[in-house]
Structure 1
Amino acid sequence: MEEEFDGASTSSSEDDEAGEFIEIDPTESTAGYALAASKQMVGIFLCVWVRSEIMCHVTDLRVSCVGRGIMGYMGNKGSISMSMTMRGTTFCFVCTHLTSGEKEGDEVRRNCDVTEILRRTRFIRWSHRSHNTIMDHDNVIWLGDLNYRLASGYGDMHELLRKNDWQTLLEKDQLRIEQRAGRVFDGWKEGMIHFAPTYKYLANSDCYVVQTTKSREKRRIPAWCDRILWRGNGIKQQWYVRGESRFSDHRPVSSLFSVQISSDHHRQRNSISGTAVIANSCARVQAEEMLLTRVQSCIEASRF
C-alpha cells in the first residue's frame, strides 16, 4: 500500500521489501482529514493529520518532548516527537527548534541539540512491540527550524543573492558541511534545495534584513534555517519547496512523501475494530502524556 504524507515547517531509497502492496489514489479521498494528535511546547508545535478513510489503521499514538533551551532543559528550544503505527509500519515525526546564532562554534551547539534529542527522546512502551526511541522506527521525518547558517563571511553574498545562485551559497551551508563530516544526521537524507534561503526577512517583506541595514549587530546572513530530513525504507520524496507567507522573518518549507506499507498486516489484525483501537490510543495519549488530542477528530472526519 502506498500512502502520502505532507510535511510542513528529505533522494529516495529503494523499495527493498518484496510482497503484495495495495495502491490508494489520494485524489479519491472525499472525507477530508482527521487530526490524529497535536502538541505544543512553548513556541514549538507539531500536529499529525491523517486521511479519514485510513484513520482506523493508525494505532499506538505516543508523544515525547525534549527541552534544550535555558540550562539545556527549558522548552524554548528542543523537540516534540510523535510516534504512530500504520498497518504494522512505524512512523516518527520530529519537530525541532535548535540553538540559534551565527558565531563560530554555534553549529557545534546545534549538533549537540540533535544528539541530545536522539538520546533523551523516549516513548512509553504499551507492549513489547512498541518502539522506544526515534531511531527504532521504520520511517522518521525530522523538520523545523534547525537554525544551521552559512559558514562564510559577507564577501560576494549580495551578488550571489542577486543571481539566485543557491548552489554556490549552499556549499557553505553548515548542515551539509556537518553532515558530510559525519558529525550530525549521519545516514539521513534531504531533498535537493532549489529555493532561496528561508531566513532572515524583514517583517511583511520579501527583503532580507542584510540587504536593508548597515548595523552589524542587526543584520543576519541569509540561510536555510528551515529544513526537512528523513530516513527509512520505502519512503520517497515527491517535492521539496518553500512557501511565501510573510507573517514571520522565516519562510516555511514543505515536502510531500509517498510511503509503501506492506499489506502483510492483514494476517495480524486484531479482532477489535480499528475505530475502537484508535479511540483507545487517543485516550491514552491524552491521559498519560498530556497530548492535546481531539479524540472525536480521530473517529469522525474533520476538514481543514
Structure 2
Amino acid sequence: MGYMGNKGSVSVSMTLFQSRLCFVCSHLTSGHKVGAEQKRNSDVYEITRRTHFSSALDTEQPLTIPSHDQIFWFGDLNYRLNMLDAEVRKLVALKRWDDLINNDQLHNELSSGHVFDGWKEGVINFPPTYKYEMDSDRYVGEIPREGEKKRSPAWCDRILWSGKGIKQLCYQRAEIRLSDHRPVSSTFLLEVEVFNHRKLKRALNVSTAAVHPDIIFDENEDFEL
C-alpha cells in the first residue's frame, strides 16, 4: 500500500486440528544509523496492527496475528550489532557469539520489551548471516573496495515464536551462496489441541455422535493424539 516501500510482510493463518497457527515472513527497515532499530520496532508494530485475515470460510478464524495460539515470525528483520566494525569482525573471527549477541539490537530490544514482548528466540551459535560477497564466504569489507559501502556483519535473518506448546529442536543457517545473506532455518515440535470425541461423549454422558462445536476445554485436559 505504499506505506513501507519495499518493506513489509506476508502472513499465513491456518488451523491444525483445533489449534490456530500463524506464520509471518517480513522484511524490516534496513540501515545501521543510530536509532534505526526503532524504525524496525515500528515496522513490527505496523505489521501487527494492519494485518487482518478473512473469515469468509470460517467464522471462528482469528482475524489478527496475536489472536492465534502459536505464531512464528521470520525473515530479514535487519537488526544490527551496536559495535564498531573492527570489533565485530574480531569477535566473529574468534567465534565469540555470546559477546556479539550481548550487543545485538534485536536481543536487547526483546530483553527490554520494546518489541516482540513475550516472544522467544533460540540460542544463536552460528556466524552472522549478513553481509556476504556474492558467491563467496567473505563478508563485504574484508577486502576494501573503492566506493563500497561499509557493512558490518550482523544476524539480520531471524526466527522468533510465541505461544504455548512450542519446543525448538534446532536453529541453524545454511551455507547457500545465492544471496548476500545466509538463510536460516529452524525445526519445531508443536503440541496442538485435538478433540477425542470418544472421551468427550463419555465425559458428557452423551449417547449420540453429535458434538456441540462451541464447547471449549481446559488446555490441561488429557486428550489422546
Do the structures match in fold with TM over 0.5? yes
- Larger RCO (CA under 8 A, 6+ residues apart): 1
CA shift digits 1:271-290 (9 cap, x unpaired): 9xxxxxxxxxxxxxxxxxxx
Cα deviation for residue 263 of structure 1 reads: 2.5
Tell which structure's C-alpha radius of gyration is larger: 2
Q: Against the structure 1 CA distance between its residues 73 and 157, is the aligned structure 2 distance closer, same or farther, given a 3 Å change threshold?
A: closer
Q: TM-score, normalised by structure 1?
A: 0.62
Instruction: State the partner residue of 2:16.
Output: 86
The match for 2:150 among 215, 219, 224 is 219
More helix, by proportion? 1
The 1-side partners of 2:103 and 2:4 are apart by 30
Residues 119 and 161, structure 2, Cα contact 8 Å, conserved in 1 = yes
Q: Give the aligned residue type for 1:259.
A: L
User: Which residues of structure 2 form unaligned runs of 5+?
Assistant: 202-208, 212-225
More strand, by proportion? 1
The 2-side partners of 1:247 and 1:265 are apart by 47
The 1-side partners of 2:196 and 2:10 are apart by 28
Instruction: State the partner residue of 2:33.
Output: 103
Q: Against the structure 1 CA distance between its residues 110 and 215, is the aligned structure 2 distance closer, same or farther, given a 3 Å change threshold?
A: farther
Residues 122 and 132, structure 1, Cα contact 8 Å, conserved in 2 = yes
The match for 1:116 among 13, 25, 46 is 46
The 2-side partners of 1:176 and 1:155 are apart by 21
The 1-side partners of 2:182 and 2:210 are apart by 44
Cα deviation for residue 151 of structure 1 reads: 1.1
The 2-side partners of 1:125 and 1:72 are apart by 25
CA shift digits 1:175-213 (9 cap, x unpaired): 011111211011000000000000000010000012122
Give the 3-state SS of the residue equivalent to 1:82 in structure 2. Answer: strand
1:192 partnered with 2:123: yes
Give the 3-state SS of the residue equivalent to 1:210 in structure 2. Answer: coil
Q: TM-score, normalised by structure 2?
A: 0.83
Aligned residues: 201
